[in-house]
Each structure stands twice: as C-alpha cells, then as structure tokens.
Amino acid sequence: MKENKFNLKKVGNFLINNGVVILIIISAIIVGVDNPNFFGKYNIKNLLMNVSVRAVIAFGIAAVLIMRNNDLSAGRQVGFAGCIAATLLQKADYVQKVYPNLPPLNMWLVCALLMIGFALTFGLINGLVVSKMHVPAFIGTYGMQTVIYGICLVYTGAQPIGGLIDKYTDWAAGSFLGLDFVPNLGVVALLVGLFIWFLFNHTPFGKKMYAIGGNPNAASVSGINIDRMTILSYMLAAALFALAGFMLGAKAGGTSAALAAGYELFAIAGCTIGGVSTNGGIGKVSGIIIGVLVFEILKIEMQFVGVDVAYTYVVQGIVIVIAIALDIRKYIARK
C-alpha cells in the first residue's frame, strides 16, 4: 500500500516536471487527428525549418543561461546579421540594390567575414560589460539590444531589403540530398547541435561552464577564470546568433531591421521548457532541442486551429511563465 502511494507521487512529480512538454504533445496529437495536414510533408518541413533557426539561437542562449547570465540582445544580433547577409547577397540586376557597385569580390566570403567580425565584437562587448564592469546581464544586454537595433536601422536606412540571389534563398528552402523531410537548414542546425553537445560535455570549456553555473564562488576558488569564461560564452553565443541570422535571412527571402525582434524570449522559453535551469549549472543539448521543438509545435498548432495571431502571443507568454515557474519549483523542492 505504502509502495503504491510512493509510486503515485513519483508519477505525479514526473507529470508536473514535464507538464508543459506533455500537454503540448497531447494537444499536437489532437490537432493532428482533427486535421491530418498537420502531420503532412509540407508542414513537417516548415516546422523543422523554423525549429532549425530557433535551435541555433537557443544553443547560444543556453551557453549564457547555464552560466547564470542572459542575453537579451540575441534577437537583434540575429536580425542585424540577417541584414548584413541580405545587403551583400542581392541580385546584380535588382533595382533597389543597397550597394549597386560592389567590387568583384567573393561576396559569400566578405559576408561571412563581416558577420563573424560583428558577432565577435558584440559578444566581446556584452561579455566585458557583464564581467569586467559587473553590469547585471539583464540590463547590460538590454542596452546592447537597443544599440544594435539602432545600428541596424542606420545600416538599412530603415528600408526592407529584397532581391536576394537565388543561390542563397534556394539553399535555405532546399532539402538535403533531395529528402523532402530534411531541410538544409535542419542539417546546419544538427551539425551545430553536435558541435555544441561536444563543446558542453567533452571540453574544458563545457566543464567549466557548468561549474560556474553550479557555484561561481567555488568555481573561482577552483582556479576557473570566470571573467574569461563569461566573455567567451557571449562570443560563442554571438557567433551562433550570426549564423542564425544568415539562415533566417535566406529563409525569409528578404529582411528588414525588424527581423528576429524578440527571438531571445522564444529561445529562453525553449531552453527553459527543455530543462535548462534559470538558476544555472543545468541544461542538456537534447533538452534544448525538445524545448524549442515543443514551443514551435505549440505555435503551429494554434495556427492550424485558427487562433488569431494576436492570441498566440498571449498563449506563448503564459507558457513561458509557467515553464519557468515549474523550473523554479524543481529548484525549491531540492532544498
């Protein structure tokens, strides 16, 4: 009898701890039964393409979150990177070309170098502000968010940028080896995921990252240079945001300064639903992927059921708060 009660408690805890994931999966099944197109080829690919971009952003955010920091400039960094890519990879005969007289260089290379250069600079500044200047990450990166948006507005002249070269947009829309279910973007995200998994679990960087998140004081006494690690984590995150911007620009087929606004919140939500603790020190790559996937499924579900876009924001906001509340609950229960 006692044994039985104990198990019930265990099951209950499991349900609560994974509540958000379970609910969304159940609802997906219901929506899928109601409308078989939900599990259709087209929808699945579309879902995977969205998830790919968001997962790459979430991996970046996760590195920062696990160290008890945050990066609210993520979305704007993604957006700016997307704009750089779009301006450099426009069709030669496009009328409203931002740079009509580009020198005959390899634009792919220039684009890559510029994006990497900007990303590392943004990451470095974020890292310096948070570590050396001791500005709380929330405030420091929020300032960065505004700054990058301003730079992006200046850079694009507040105009939308279209006319991207076919090679770029086709690549983003394309499937890997002609497999319908496997978008090229998904392959990129998968490779990034493998890299992040390796980095988090099998390198000194990863071990130190989890240690700092687990207990910064103990990490410091153990000879870990926290400032250096903080800066590196922001630079890693920024590099991933730039990559996500490159992916997103092509997927959207055109960009503007509004690209990816607010994406940091979706990434934070994905991480938290996937078990990255906002208290630091905990988070798995598999969890992040599940979290992002589940959050995206929720959005598409609502589109399928025909919920007004305005309401989807309400639901998403609530889910974020619930996910974090459940995460904190786990932490309190541990005490």
Partner 1 sequence: MSEYVLEMKNICKAFPGVQALNNANLALKAGHVHALMGENGAGKSTLMKCLFGIYKKDSGQIIYQGEEINNRDPFEALNRGIAMVHQELLPIPDRTIAENIYVGRYPVKKIGPIKVIDHKKMYNDAQALLDELNLNFDAHAKLETLTASQMQLVEICKALSADAKIVILDEPTASLTLKEVDKLFEIIRQLTEKGCGVIYISHKMDEILQISDEITIMRDGQYIGTWDASEMTTDMIIEKEVGRELKNLYPPKINTPGEPVFEVKDFCSIHEHSFQHCSFEARDGEILGVAGLVGAQRTELMEAIMGLRGTTSGEVFFKGKKLNIKSPSDAIKEGVTLLTEDRRGSGIFGVLSVADNVGIASVNDYLLYRMMVDQKKINQIVDKSIGELSIKTPSKKTQIQHLSGGNQQKVIISRWLAKDPEVLIMDEPTRGIDVGAKYEIYSIIGRLAKEGKTIIMVSSEMPELIGVCDRIMVMCEGQITGFVEGEDMNQEKIMELSTKFIK
Residues that bind partner 1 (CB under 8 A): 6, 10, 198, 202-204, 206-208, 210-211, 214-215, 217-225, 277, 281-282, 334
Nearer to partner 1, 210 or 304 (CB): 210
Q: How far is the CB of 296 from partner 1 (least distance, A)?
A: 28
65/272 Cα distance (integer angstroms): 9
Nearer to partner 1, 142 or 210 (CB): 210
Report the b/e string of 36-70 with b at 16+ CB within 10 A: eebeeeebebebbbbbbbbbbbbbbbbbbbbbbbb
Nearer to partner 1, 220 or 312 (CB): 220
Q: How far is the CB of 220 from partner 1 (least distance, A)?
A: 6
Q: How far is the CB of 222 from partner 1 (least distance, A)?
A: 5
Nearer to partner 1, 121 or 222 (CB): 222
Nearer to partner 1, 77 or 277 (CB): 277
Q: How far is the CB of 2 from partner 1 (least distance, A)?
A: 9
Q: Which of 205, 201, 221, 197 is nearest to 288 (CA)?
A: 197
264-267: long-range contacts at Cβ-Cβ below 8 A with a sequence spacing of 24 or more? 264/57, 264/61, 264/71, 264/72, 264/73, 264/74, 264/75, 264/145, 265/75, 265/320, 266/54, 266/57, 266/292, 266/295, 266/316, 267/54, 267/57, 267/58, 267/60, 267/61, 267/74, 267/292
Nearer to partner 1, 249 or 280 (CB): 280
Q: How far is the CB of 223 from partner 1 (least distance, A)?
A: 4
> Are residues 249 and 79 in contact, defined by beta-carbon separation less than 8 angstroms?
no
Q: How far is the CB of 276 from partner 1 (least distance, A)?
A: 12
